[in-house]
Structure formats: structure tokens, C-alpha cells
Amino acid sequence: MINYRLKRGLKHIVIWVFIMFAIFPIIWALSAALNPSNTLMGQRLIPENASLKNFVALFNNKQHPFPIWIWNSVKISLIVSLITVILTSLAAYPFSRFRFKGRRQGLFIILLVQIFPQMLAMVAIYLLFLNIQNYIPILSINTHMAVIVIYLGGAVGINTWLLKGYFDTISRSLEEAAQIDGATRFQAYYKIILPLAKPILAALFVIQFINTYNEYVLASIMLNSSDKFTLAVGLQMFISENYGQRWGVFSAAALLGAIPITVLFLVVQDYLVTGLTGGAVKE
Amino acid sequence: MLSSWQGRSKHPWTILFLCLFDALTLWGAILLLNDRNYLYLFFLLITAISINYIYLSEKCYPLRYILPGTFFMFLLVVYPIFYNIYISFTNYGTGHILSKEQVIQKLEERYYIPSKPEEYYFTVFKSPDGSKFILALEDDKGQLYLGENGEIILRSNSPEYFIKRNHEGTINSINGYEKLTKKELFKYLSILQGIEFIKNQDSVIRMKDTSTYVLCRKQYQYLPQNDKIIDNKNNKEYRPVDGFFTSSEGEKLLPGYKTYIGWQNYFKLITDRSIATPFLQVFTWTFQFAFLSVLGTFLIGVLLAILLNDNKLLFKRLYRTLLILPYAIPGFISILIWRGLFNEEFGVINNILKALSISPFSWLTDATCTKLALVLVNLWLGYPYMMLIILGSLQSINKTLYEAAAIDGASGWQKFSHITLPLLLVSVGPLLISSFAYNFNNYSVIYLFNKGRPPMIGADTPAGKTDILITYTYRLAFETGQGADFGLASTVTILIFIITAIITQVNFGFTGALEDVKGND
């Protein structure tokens, strides 16, 4: 019996060791954000004279407009995830419902393409836009439009497979009934399949939102003026060689930028795991 | 029949969309035609024709759904891959940005003053509103020329100019334009310096100083039939070699141009020692980093999953939430925070070490320490994912297996090593491989933590001791200190593509993802 209790206790201790590891940077960032001295030097876990000075400083920094960076990130992520949901649900529908020539090849190509992370081709993408901007000024380097278009391209592949798999599980009888009643193909898709697929569409939206918000490389290549930065690019620029002088304000910005995503993530965590493992864990 | 779609009428919206699209295409085609960019024009027209066909033909009905999404995929994922392959066979980069035609055009705009210069003394006459000028130019033989609007004509051939002289014979005004005084001349100097007259096809007359104009001759001439450039100044010949017009003595004309150079970039990576040595180090560390990350996160994941996989555990839900926090926080934010904590002088981690009277580590300037820190940070970032998928996988293991083992008197460790681990590896194996591929290209961790530093000393290309292949590519292309080398960067990218493809091939063997495709008949 004692042995059993000892085991129980040990279990909790090991778990707590890892929890300490998990929250270690978060706690210190919180402490730095509340510490008015704004420097790494002599940081204590519980800051003296704790205040919200760093948070106030965030909103009064003309050279580094944090609110604009956060807004840019949110705006780009919202647009990209909304359009991604529309485009991929459209693309997945015929793969699930129609039998046409080239269907298997199409699925295969999409599977093949999504093997290569889009950012691998960053050099080519950058040079492509360097050319495109001579003809289509709204897609110039340093525009949000260009970044959005890039993200859309990267989002289609894997998500089409995810949605197709889900559509396959929806029974066809409702659509058949609707078509007998005279609904067009598109109406069947729009009024029957989409409402039934709401849960996966919502999950896809959130996954895409988080992924877009977190993207750094491509945004850093494409955006080069402070008012256009996303939070990832802006924060990097702000802190990279200035840990000594900007630690507090940075930590405040980091917490503000992280909280919405973290909460969103924790709310939908069960969906995310299903989406991320992509059915590879077979039950 | 359900999968049929025949007999559907075309929606008015489709027609409206097509009209708009075609109008835009036409506009774009005219722009491209003006620019003589026939390659892009070709692509544009092919795209436009296929889109029209797809949305008008009954046979292509399914494609109407698929096309909008895959259009972006082809433009921004597939096309860049092929473009990347093309660039890897060129010398595209700093010093080789322009095309050959553009460089020829630039060179042909260069002029030189011959060793026996033809000089002209000039006087300037200004229109009453001050916006136009006529120049009177006199050569050393006393011939008078008049210059206006970039053209120059002999006075005797231009009776339309009315010249007024004073009693000493100097010109006072031309066509009512008044002569500029010396003072006014300086006022208009910057405008006058921009005025030049075309004498004939290969010479122009330009301002030399405030009293003389001089005849300048075109220095370079391109002969398309021989594909060479002639220097009119000294009759040297320059032929195109590896992106430069080069003389027989090896003298190069700048700037160079972008051109096909075959496998040179690939050979450079293997044979050029100053490039190959750092590349090999980067290559090795990329594998080490990915391997250590996967192994570490898997071990932590298994441990935590087994601890949490216990329905009687108190606070199970709370523990789980706290433990996946690192996964929930945006990666770029936590990496930047970790960098602050690892700061060598004032960082929290070295402070703690000092308090424990352990000598502090050079986390950001010593290669080994930086690698250690990077793996630690990446374990922090990656273990929650492993924990979650292993937790899912553990729940699917049949409980009767353990019961049977218990009856046979197996110890806890035996149950783990003979039942849990083998079954886990089967179900989680594919994810380990894709995790390996992910970390292989884990740009954010490496770049945001320490930008691949500390730098390698004496390397010919910019490389850091903790760079992985993808951050090395970024350096080659975008870190402009030593000039961008898009060609070499693309070559490294191609290698990453190949390695990624091999890893995935292995993974497909595991998951039978290809069988999934085949199952879709």
C-alpha cells in the first residue's frame, strides 16, 4: 500500500517537473512584462514595483506600431482562412462526389504537392513577385495582398484531402432527395453539404488562422516597411539585437500577441489533434 | 445517377464572371505584348483559354469546383518548384540581375570622349517664359550650329532661325530668345547638363564644362551576328562567357547578366572547398538537429503520455492543459522569449546557474552551447504534439493484451517494452518521420533563436555554425552583406527537395497513403 502511494506521489512529482519546464519561459515573460525597469539585468521572478508601464508603452511607440502589427496579422489570417475554407471545400466536393476522368491523378498530384512545404521555394516565390509587380502593382513586394495570395497557394493541398475525407463520410441520400426535388448540383453542395460539414469547416478555419498568424519566413521576405509588418516580423525586428533595452516592452507585446491564439488553441485542442494527425493514428 | 452532372444550365453569374475575366486578360495581354514578354503572354493565353473552356464545357463540370483553389496552388507552389529548378542552373544573383538584352542596352548607352575631342563653344538662349532653350555652338573652324530639342543643325542649313547680332558681331537673340548671362547660366546649369544633341547614330554632343560642349562617341557596339561586343575606343572585342562579356585577356564588362550555366552551382557545392566545407557542416547539423529533436520529443512524449494515461489521476485535465501550453503559444513568440532567457550576460538561465555556483554557459556565442540550447528549445516546442498523439494511440491499445501479460507474470517494464512500445511505434511511426521532415526544415527555431550564429570563420559563402539547410538557403539569397546568390540558394533548395522526397517516400511505405489514392476508384 505504501509502495502504491509512493508511486502515485512520484507520478505527480515527475509531471510537475515537466509543468515547470513548460511554464518556465511564460512565467519569466510575465514577470518581465510587469517589471517597469524594461531590462534583462537583475530580473527577479516577482518584480519590484510591478506596473503596467510596459503595456502602456506598447501603444505609444510611433517607431514600432504594435497595435498595427497585431491588426495586420489578424487581418491577413482572417482573410486567408476564410478564403481557404471556401476554396478547399469547393475543391474537395467533386473529389468526394463525382466520378470523372483524371480524378485519381488529381488526388495524387495534390498529395504529391503538399509534401513540399511552400517556404522551401522562398527564393523562387520572391523572384516571381519581383517580376509580377511590374505587371500587377497590387501584388507588389511589401503588400498584404501578395502575402495573402502566397498563403492561399500553400493552404489548398493538404486541406483538400482533409475535407474530402470528411465529405466521404456524409451520406449521399440527402443530396439525392434534393436533386429529385429539382435542386441543382451547386445548390446541393451549398445548401446540404456545407451545413453538414460545419464542424470540420470551423476546425479548418481555426487551424488555418493559427498557422497563418504564426508564419514568419515568407512574411519576412515579402514585407519590408514597419507599417506593413505582421506581428511575427515586427517583433523579430523590434527585439533581435536589443534584449538589453527592450525586454520588458517586448514581453508585454509577446503576451498580448500570444493570448488570443493560445486561448483559441486550447478551446479547439481536440479538433486540432484530429486535424493534425490526419487520421494516421488508426483506432 | 448521383455522380452525374449533365444537363445543368450555365448560371448567369458564370457568364458575368467569364466576361470580366476575359476583359482583364485582354488588358494584361496588351501590357505583355507591349513589353515583348512573350513567355508570360503565352502562359496567360493558355490559362485564359483553359478557364473559358472549363466554365463553358459540360464535360469539365467538376473542374469548375476544383480550379479556383488549385489555381493558387499551381501558381504559388508548383510553379515556384519548377522555377527553382531553372534558377539553380543559372548564375542569377548580385552582379547578374539583368538579362543579356538589358545589359547590352545598358552598355550601348555608354559614351566616351575621343582622344582628339571635337569641342564647341556655346551660348544659351532662353525663351521668354524660361521653359525652352536654343544653343548656339561654334566649332574650332568657326562653323556655327544651332541646337534645339535634342537636334543640332548647321546654321547655313537652317534659315528658319532669325538671328540678331550686335555691332561687334556677337549674337544677342535667336527667334526672340534672349541670351543668358553668366550668372543665369549657373542658375540653369543642372537643366543644361541634361541637354544633349544627337549628332548621328553613334555619337552625341554633351556639355563638358560651362563654356564648351564636346562630341562623345558610343563606346560599345553589339554585333548580333557574331554575338560579341566591340569597344570603339580601343577596338577590343568582348565575347559572352559565363554571364560576362569578356575580352580575350579575361577583362570583364560590368554589369554581368543572368544566364544558363549548367551544373556549375551543383559542382561548386561538392568540389569548391570554401563552399563545400561549410555546406557539409550545415548538412550534418541539419540531420543531427532533426534526429535529436524527434528522439527527444518522442521520449518525453511517451513518458508524459504514460503518466497521464490513467483515469484515476487527480487533476488530469489541468495537467494536460498546462503541459500542452508550449504548443498553444505562437512559436515565433516563445522562441524570441527563450532567446532572452538564454542571454549570456543578464539572462535568467545563466543567473540561475550562477546562483547554483555553476559557471555560466556561452549560449549564443559558442557553437556547442548554442546547439544544446536549440535542441532544448525545440524539445520544449515539440513534446506536447508527441504527447498528444501518443496519448491518443495508447488509448487504442487493446487492454486484454496487458491482462494476458499480467497472468503470465510480466513485470511493468516487460509490458512496456514488449507490448506498448512496439504497438506505439507502428501507429506513431509515420508521424515520427513527418516530424523529422518538419524539423529538418524548421526555419523559425534556428533563425529566430540565433540566426544560425555563431558565424563560421573563413567560409566563402555566409554560413553559421548552427545554420540548417533552409536557413543557409535564406542567407545565400537574402543576406545581402556579401551579395545575393539566388542560383546557389536554389541549388541548396533542390537538395532539400530531394531529401524531403526521400523521407516522404519512406513514410508512404509506412502509411500506405498511396494506397489511399488507389482506393479512390
SS (H, E, C) B450-508: HCCCCECCCCCCCCECCCCHHHHHHHHHHCHHHCCCHHHHHHHHHHHHHHHHHHHHHHH
Q: Do the chains contact at A115 and B331, CB–CB below 8 Å? A: no
CATH code for position B415: 1.10.3720.10
Cα distance between residue B377 and residue B444, in whole Å: 11
**Pick from A27, A239, A40: nearest CA to B345:** A40
Residues B247, B191, single domain; the answer is no
Examine residue B22 and state whether it is found in any structural domain, yes or no: yes
Residues B483, B337, single domain; the answer is yes
Examine residue B245 and state whether it is found in any structural domain, yes or no: yes
Residues A193, A122, single domain; the answer is yes
Examine residue B389 and state whether it is found in any structural domain, yes or no: yes
Cα distance between residue A190 and residue A186, in whole Å: 6
**B441 neighbourhood in chain A, CB within 8 Å:** 117, 119-120
Q: Which amino acid is at B203?
A: S
In this complex, the residue of B69, B319, B501 whose CB is nearest that of residue A15 is B319
CATH code for position A158: 1.10.3720.10
Residues A119, A212, single domain; the answer is yes
**B447 neighbourhood in chain A, CB within 8 Å:** 216-217
Domains contained in chain A, number:
2
Contact B365, B454 (CB under 8 A): yes
Residues A70, A44, single domain; the answer is no
User: pLDDT value at position A146?
Assistant: 95
Last residue of a domain, one of A56, A76, A101: A56
User: pLDDT value at position A23?
Assistant: 94
Residues A134, A235, single domain; the answer is yes
Q: CA of A275 to nearest chain B CA: how many angstroms apart?
A: 11
In this model, does residue B8 exceed pLDDT 60?
A: no
Domains contained in chain B, number:
4
Closest residue, chain A, to B495 (C-alpha)? A120
Examine residue B490 and state whether it is found in any structural domain, yes or no: yes
In this model, does residue B394 exceed pLDDT 70?
A: yes
Q: CA of B33 to nearest chain A CA: how many angstroms apart?
A: 12
Examine residue A268 and state whether it is found in any structural domain, yes or no: no
> Hey, is the C-beta of B28 within 8 angstroms of any chain A C-beta?
yes
Examine residue B5 and state whether it is found in any structural domain, yes or no: no
Q: What is the pLDDT of residues B439-471, one digit of tens each?
A: 999 999 999 998 888 888 876 678 889 999 999
With a CB cutoff of 8 Å and minimum separation 6, the contacts of B249 are none
Residues A219, A100, single domain; the answer is yes
Residues B61, B189, single domain; the answer is no
Residues B322, B300, single domain; the answer is yes
**How far, in whole angstroms, is CA B6 from its chain's centroid?**
45
Examine residue A189 and state whether it is found in any structural domain, yes or no: yes
Residues A43, A105, single domain; the answer is no
Q: Which amino acid is at A154?
A: G
**How far, in whole angstroms, is CA B293 from its chain's centroid?**
28
Examine residue A267 and state whether it is found in any structural domain, yes or no: no
Contact A129, B75 (CB under 8 A): no
Residues B450, B487, single domain; the answer is yes
What burial class does residue B166 get, using C-beta atoms within 10 Å of its C-beta: 0-12 exposed, 13-18 middle, 19+ buried?
Answer: exposed
**Pick from A261, A222, A195, A37: nearest CA to B328:** A261
Residues B339, B439, single domain; the answer is yes
Residues A146, A185, single domain; the answer is yes
Residue reference for cell 549560449: B363
Q: Do the chains contact at A121 and B8, CB–CB below 8 Å? A: no
Residues A106, A159, single domain; the answer is yes
Residue reference for cell 546557389: B488
User: pLDDT value at position B513?
Assistant: 65
Q: Do the chains contact at A156 and B313, CB–CB below 8 Å? A: no
Q: Do the chains contact at A247 and B340, CB–CB below 8 Å? A: yes
Domain of residue A120: give its range. Answer: 65-240
Domain of residue B284: give its range. Answer: 268-511
Q: Do the chains contact at A154 and B441, CB–CB below 8 Å? A: no
In this complex, the residue of A87, A120, A235 whose CB is nearest that of residue B497 is A120
User: pLDDT value at position B453?
Assistant: 85
- Give every residue of chain A whose pLDDT is below 70, as ranges: 1-2, 40, 42, 270-283
With a CB cutoff of 8 Å and minimum separation 6, the contacts of B260 are B89, B90
Q: CA of B277 to nearest chain A CA: how many angstroms apart?
A: 23
Examine residue B277 and state whether it is found in any structural domain, yes or no: yes
Residues A89, A227, single domain; the answer is yes
DSSP characters over A220-280: HHH--SGGG--HHHHHHHHHTT-HHHHHHHHHHHHHHHHHHHHHHHHHTHHHHHHHHHTT-
- DSSP designation for A119: G
The residues pairing with B204 across neighbouring beta strands, listed in sequence order, are B198, B216
**B11 neighbourhood in chain A, CB within 8 Å:** 186
What is the four-CA torsion angle of B253, B254, B260, B263, rounded to 10 degrees?
90
Considering only the C-alpha atoms of chain B, give the largest distance between any 2 of them, rounded to a whole number of Å.
Answer: 132
Q: Tell me which of B390 and B479 has the higher pLDDT.
A: B390
Cα distance between residue B242 and residue B309, in whole Å: 64
Residues B309, B168, single domain; the answer is no
For Cα atoms B308, B313, B318, give the angle at the middle one, nearest 5 degrees.
70
Residues A240-256 as b or e (16 or more Cβ within 10 Å = b): eeebeebbbbbbbbbbb
Closest residue, chain B, to A239 (C-alpha)? B336
**B92 neighbourhood in chain A, CB within 8 Å:** 127
The residues pairing with B216 across neighbouring beta strands, listed in sequence order, are B204
> Hey, is the C-beta of B333 within 8 angstroms of any chain A C-beta?
yes
Contact A214, A7 (CB under 8 A): no
Kindly report the length of chain A.
283
Residues B400, B491, single domain; the answer is yes
Examine residue A260 and state whether it is found in any structural domain, yes or no: no
Examine residue A245 and state whether it is found in any structural domain, yes or no: no
CATH code for position B174: 2.40.430.10
Q: Which amino acid is at B249?
A: E
B176: left (phi over 0), alpha (psi -120 to 50) or beta: left
Cα distances (angstroms) measured from residue B437 to each of A210, B204, B364, B506: 21, 61, 26, 11
Residues B198, B303, single domain; the answer is no
**Pick from B367, B369, A245: nearest CA to B359:** B369
Residues A11, A52, single domain; the answer is yes
Q: CA of B50 to nearest chain A CA: how many angstroms apart?
A: 16
Q: What is the pLDDT of residues B67-113, one digit of tens each?
A: 888 889 998 999 999 999 999 999 998 888 888 888 888 888 888 88
Residues A205, A113, single domain; the answer is yes
In this model, does residue B369 exceed pLDDT 80?
A: yes
Mutate to test the interface with A, among B5, B58, B65 (most CBs of A within 10 A): B65
Contact B268, B261 (CB under 8 A): no
Residues A148, A173, single domain; the answer is yes
What burial class does residue B160 get, using C-beta atoms within 10 Å of its C-beta: 0-12 exposed, 13-18 middle, 19+ buried?
Answer: exposed
Residues B204, B235, single domain; the answer is no
Last residue of a domain, one of B31, B56, B88: B88
User: pLDDT value at position B520?
Assistant: 65
- This model of the complex carries an ipTM of 0.90
Cα distances (angstroms) measured from residue A203 to each of A82, A269, A276: 12, 10, 11
With a CB cutoff of 8 Å and minimum separation 6, the contacts of B301 are B383, B385, B386, B387, B389, B390
Q: Do the chains contact at A262 and B338, CB–CB below 8 Å? A: no
Contact B439, B290 (CB under 8 A): yes
User: pLDDT value at position A15?
Assistant: 94
HSE at residue B144, side-chain half, CA atoms within 13 A, is: 16
Residues B426, B455, single domain; the answer is yes
Kindly report the length of chain B.
521
Sign of CA dihedral A191, A197, A202, A208: negative
Long-range own/partner contacts, residues B6-14 (CB < 8 A, 24 or more apart)? B6/B58, B6/B61, B7/B58, B8/A184, B8/A185, B8/B58, B8/B61, B10/B55, B10/B56, B11/A186, B14/B55, B14/B64
Contact A153, A88 (CB under 8 A): no
Average pLDDT estimate for B182-202: 80
Residues B232, B116, single domain; the answer is no
Q: How is residue B431 written as a grid cell?
A: 508521424
Examine residue A166 and state whether it is found in any structural domain, yes or no: yes
Contact A266, B328 (CB under 8 A): yes
Closest residue, chain A, to B384 (C-alpha)? A22
Examine residue A218 and state whether it is found in any structural domain, yes or no: yes
Examine residue B519 and state whether it is found in any structural domain, yes or no: no
CATH code for position B39: 1.20.58
Examine residue B4 and state whether it is found in any structural domain, yes or no: no
> Hey, is the C-beta of B146 within 8 angstroms of any chain A C-beta?
no
